[in-house]
Structure 1
Amino acid sequence: MRAPAAERLRRLRWRLTAIFTAMNTIGLVVFAPLIITLDGNNGEDDVNNELHVVTQSVMRLITDSNSLGLDRIPNDPLYNRCPSFIVLPGGAPSFPVQASANPCGVEMDRAALDQLATEAVSSGASLRADGEAANGDRVRVAAEPFMDSSRRYAGAVVAWADVEDERSRHSNLVLVVLIGCGILIGAAALVGYWLSGRAIRPATAALEQQEVLLAETAHDLRTPVAALRALAESAARDPGQREELLPRTVRLAGRMGDIIDGLLVRARLAAGVEHLSMQPVWLDQLVAGVVEDTPAGNARISVVTAPTKVRADPALLQRAIGNLLDNALRHGRGPGGQAVVTVTVADGRVTVADQGPGVDPAVGDDLFERFTSGGGSSGLGLSIVRWVALSHGGDLKVYNADEGGAIFEFHLPALATTP
């Protein structure tokens, strides 16, 4: 579809997709940093809590009776576990330094630990700092000052832990969050495109239906308009035939009106606002009337009928039979250039046979699709015939005759006829 209306629908779909994607992106932009920040804070809190447990536990092992006692520390399980720790005077009166036995793979600069212990003792507050181990890994250091029996700060317990694994874990989380946001934004764009397509589908279907209705109108009116023109030209050339041609002209005009009404009915049926006008119809009489009103030119049309009654919408049925007959006259010409068409009606079946080149087997059911045909025409005629057949519970089949030519078989459920 290249009409301006179709282009506006496409633009609307892209706008809806962009809005949906932008809304989801804003949500991800708000929540992704929040998740990253919370994870970073939780990681730091876990390390700080771990160091706090060590410093507090070691402080409870220190005794003070005239002199500080650190003898209990080597007997405690913390002595051989991680994180590592050391008890330093930190500027207070000196005492023998006691360090944990397990370095936990982190070698620290003693001067940096002494400095942090001194700051903790002088300030009387717990301190935490980030530093660097001898191997270059990042570490978190905590210093907890403790008092002697005279309520004076006598030293500090300093503990440290390698945070390289925690930093690596947090960096991986950041990478996963960013990649996940990218994937979610892409998924939001695809979902938005799909949802917007579903949202505008009724409008697109209505636009397509309008275009098909216009095409079908032009297709169905082409034959009766040509016949009407031929009748008018004949009457103009030979005024003596006017009395004979006038009833046929009136019938053709009525048929044109019926075609227009049928198209409107089909449009309303497709929209679900109207139902078929079903009634008993003598199929043989209806077919005979359509054949009589169809201009044959130099073609030969023979009709063989048997009384058969069906339940159908007369206007739509006339259209279907007219399209089958028109298709045979167009494409059923034999080698001599004259179309020879045989119409047979019996048991709810209308068979239209011609002596043309037949139907290409490769075309198959595509022959009944809109805008598809084997002869360069619009292909609407046969698609309408099949639609009428299916909407009445019938079917349309096509096959090639053994002696050449195509045979179209239009079938409707037949009603019982009283003798």
Structure 2
Amino acid sequence: MNSSAADRLRRLRLLLTVLFTAINATGLIVFAWIAIASDESGPRSLDGDLRRVTSSANRLLQFDDTNRTFVTGYIGNDELADQCPQFAVLPGGSSTFAPYFSKRTCVPVDPAVLGGLVDDAVRSGRLVTGNIHGTGGQLVRVGVEPFRNPFGQYAGAAVAVADADAAQAAHTRFVVFVVGGCAVLVAGLAVAGHLLSTRAMRPAVAALEQQEILLAETAHDLRTPVAALRALAETALRNPDQRTELLPRTVGLAARMGSIIDGLLVRARLAAGMDQLAVQPVWLDQLVTGLVDETPADGASVTVTAAPSLVQVDPTLVQRAIGNLLDNALRYGRKQDEPAIVHITVANGRVTVADHGPGVDAAIAEELLDRFRTGSGSTGLGLSIVRWVAQAHGGALNVYNADEGGAIFELELPVLPQGN
């Protein structure tokens, strides 16, 4: 299905919103990844505590020159042995001395696992940090600091351990915060992008919609006079003796078509804010009577009951609106296989057009006044134009069903006191 230019602009607006959101979302994702990857506040704090413990434990070591080995018995006299993080001093490599484990068990850990970490630190000669699992399955942070004997050889290491679950939970909360914040920002950017693109394209969309409406209204309003003009021309061709009689009617229809086009141009300029309504005092009863006299009835019965009614309106637009009401009544205000019966009443700034057709379904009464909808189910603009003209003058268009059958359309216009 072909879409209008306004519809394509709306799709472009959606595309711009998606691109705007995607570009900013990409930047936020990169930022979130860097922030999460660099979040080492928990492990860094634990490593500082572990390094403090291992360094203190190593300083408490004593070397027995006689037995050429380390003595760990003095470590238990320090208050460090009763605190957390817990620690152990273990031999590594080929060295042998009595291992020491601190008095307080803060996190249960397999000694064999600690011994393996000490061997790794002794072989590498570097401080070793990392995560292991305790015997209860909890996450444990480990710091292993090797030490040398008096001969410059690495003989063992002090290993300290601490519960890392709290730090891991803090990191998880940080991740949730960053991801959730990014999601909220992406949603906000999507809304902002949509609003910005909508605001930027609103004038263009409105202009295109106005152009489409103008074209549709032109086709709608010119359809009837063009058909009548063609009929007159074909009659004149077939009957040359009637040309003198048909010529004035042809000129009148051409003038009506010109008036319709002028009215459409005025409508477009008014909608664009380029012009103001050309309001002036108008005798509404005379305008309606003249319009009925100029409209071919085609066998229909059209009666007018009019009282003097002076209104302040744009005569071109009001004539067009009433013409649409009359045309609607002649087209759809009839029973099957019967001529239309239309009665028009003019009084106190109101023009009431009543017909004897099937009436208006209350469920779609409001839809009838929208663009591209008529009582017959076909598309059109007649009634929507009437409502626009009424609203432009500060009036209204009302739709009723008569008790005895048929539809009633009432056009209300501002009355000008006749004494003025």
What range is the shorter-chain TM-score in?
0.7 to 0.9
After TM superposition, the structure 1 = structure 2 runs for residues 62-141 of structure 1, keeping only pairs within 5 Å, are 71=74, 73-74=76-77, 76=79, 78-88=80-90, 97-103=99-105, 104-109=107-112, 111-112=115-116, 114-115=118-119, 118=122, 123=125, 126-128=127-129, 133=134, 139-141=140-142
Map of 1:255 onto structure 2: 256
Secondary structure at the aligned position of 1:358 is classed as coil
* In structure 2, C-alpha distance between the alignment counterparts of 1:268 and 1:301, rounded to whole Å: 34
Change (3 A) 1:168 1:249: same
| RMSD of Structure 2 on Structure 1 (CA) | 4.0
Secondary structure at the aligned position of 1:362 is classed as helix
Q: Aligned partner of 1:51: which letter?
A: L
Tell me by how many angstroms 1:239 deviates: 6.0
Tell me by how many angstroms 1:322 deviates: 0.4
Map of 1:24 onto structure 2: 24
Is the 1:61–1:73 Cα contact (8 Å) retained in structure 2?
A: no
Map of 1:292 onto structure 2: 293
After TM superposition, the structure 1 = structure 2 runs for residues 234-273 of structure 1, keeping only pairs within 5 Å, are 245-273=246-274
Is the 2:90–2:156 Cα contact (8 Å) retained in structure 1?
A: yes
Aligned pair count?
414
Map of 1:325 onto structure 2: 326
Map of 2:220 onto structure 1: 219
* In structure 2, C-alpha distance between the alignment counterparts of 1:106 and 1:89, rounded to whole Å: 17
Map of 2:209 onto structure 1: 208
Tell me by how many angstroms 1:143 deviates: 3.5
Tell me by how many angstroms 1:414 deviates: 0.3
Change (3 A) 1:344 1:106: same
- Structure 1 residue ranges without an equivalent (≥5): none
* In structure 2, C-alpha distance between the alignment counterparts of 1:11 and 1:401, rounded to whole Å: 45
- TM-score, normalised with respect to structure 2: 0.81
Is the 1:107–1:135 Cα contact (8 Å) retained in structure 2?
A: no
Is the 1:334–1:340 Cα contact (8 Å) retained in structure 2?
A: no
After TM superposition, the structure 1 = structure 2 runs for residues 8-407 of structure 1, keeping only pairs within 5 Å, are 8-9=8-9, 12-13=12-13, 15-39=15-39, 41-58=40-57, 71=74, 73-74=76-77, 76=79, 78-88=80-90, 97-103=99-105, 104-109=107-112, 111-112=115-116, 114-115=118-119, 118=122, 123=125, 126-128=127-129, 133=134, 139-144=140-145, 156-163=157-164, 166-167=167-168, 170=171, 192=193, 196=197, 199-233=200-234, 245-334=246-335, 337-407=338-408
- What does the per-residue CA deviation read over 1:279-331, in whole Å, with 9 as the maximum and x for residues that have no partner? 22221121122112111121122222222111111111111010011111112
Change (3 A) 1:273 1:61: farther
Secondary structure at the aligned position of 1:408 is classed as strand
Change (3 A) 1:7 1:355: closer
Secondary structure at the aligned position of 1:415 is classed as coil
- Structure 2 residue ranges without an equivalent (≥5): none
Tell me by how many angstroms 1:347 deviates: 1.0
Is the 2:394–2:413 Cα contact (8 Å) retained in structure 1?
A: yes
Q: Aligned partner of 1:407: which letter?
A: I
* In structure 2, C-alpha distance between the alignment counterparts of 1:113 and 1:11, rounded to whole Å: 62
Q: Aligned partner of 2:162: which letter?
A: A
* In structure 2, C-alpha distance between the alignment counterparts of 1:144 and 1:281, rounded to whole Å: 104
Q: Aligned partner of 2:116: which letter?
A: A
Is the 1:248–1:293 Cα contact (8 Å) retained in structure 2?
A: no
Secondary structure at the aligned position of 1:303 is classed as strand
* In structure 2, C-alpha distance between the alignment counterparts of 1:169 and 1:86, rounded to whole Å: 27
Secondary structure at the aligned position of 2:358 is classed as coil
